A = this chain, B = another copy of it.
Amino acid sequence: MELKLYVDRMSQPSRAILIFCKANGIAFEEVKIELAKKQHHSPEFAEVNPMKQVPAIVHGDFKLFESNAILIYLASAFSEVADHWYPADVRKRAKIHSVLDWHHSNLRRGSVGYIFNDTIALAFGAPLNPKAAAEGEKLLSASLTTIETYWLEGDKPFLLGNSEPSIADVALVCEIMQLEMGDDNDHERILGPHERALKWIDDTKNATAPYFDEIHAILPPVKEKLKELKLKVSKQSA
């Protein structure tokens, strides 16, 4: 049964799904939906996901959107996925749902609020919004602290005190990687104080090597482009 992933590698949940499939040897076709070109607004894509968002998947005759739901589905439907990604144990599974739900209203909201309004908006021809970026950064920094003091329990490398990664590690780390598109000094200011989180990001990269870096290779050139755009905008407004 054919699996198609409708994704844009610029989108952090799209990257999480791509990395998850590659790390687990799940065969798929990558269908590129370029957000900056508004391809998610095409009538063809509305047939796949009426919400007009990536990622979305089609598996045989089954369509699904919402990235957490997709990760859970893939981990459940493909028998080659090892248990640690989404454990069968009801309580372990409940903790994964808990961190993914927490992510929605905290890390994700903070991260998107910050990086979109500080940088990425320019790629969509939208203005930057320093006030919204500052609010996003506040929630993002608080979320990073919660990850370090609560979700990364004890001295185990992964979330929820696990020795091996789950779908939650990949989802959350891909979110944080979005900051790579911002200014180096800002990146250092926000992530620098979070040594424990930085180690966890590295551990997740290593656990999904070489796919993590392969899928994130899209970011450095985009970062350079955004840097130029930002310079241009600041000169225009100076």
Contacts and interface: CB of A to CB of B under 8 A. Distances in A.
Contacts of A29: none
Contacts of A105: 104
Contacts of A28: none
Nearest to A102: B66
Interface string A207-228: 0000000000000000000000
Interface in A42-100: 50-51, 62, 64-70, 72-73, 76-77, 90-91, 93-95, 97-98, 100
Could you say how many copies of this chain the assembly holds? Answer: 2
A206 B2 CA distance: 41
B64 A90 contact: no
Given A77-B90, A90-B76, A94-B72, A66 B150 contact: no
Contacts of A64: 94-95, 98
Given A64-B95, A90-B73, A94-B72, A104 B101 contact: yes
Contact of A101 (B62, B69, B76, B98): B69
Contacts of A98: 64-66, 69
A73 B96 CA distance: 11
A148 to B, nearest CB: 13
A146 B46 CA distance: 14
A17 B69 CA distance: 21
Interface in A180-216: none
A68 B97 contact: yes
B66 A91 contact: no
A94 to B, nearest CB: 4
15 contacts: A51-B102, A51-B150, A62-B91, A62-B94, A64-B94, A64-B98, A65-B98, A69-B101, A73-B91, A73-B94, A76-B94, A77-B91, A101-B104, A104-B104, A104-B105
Interface of A: 50-51, 62, 64-70, 72-73, 76-77, 90-91, 93-95, 97-98, 100-102, 104-105, 146, 150
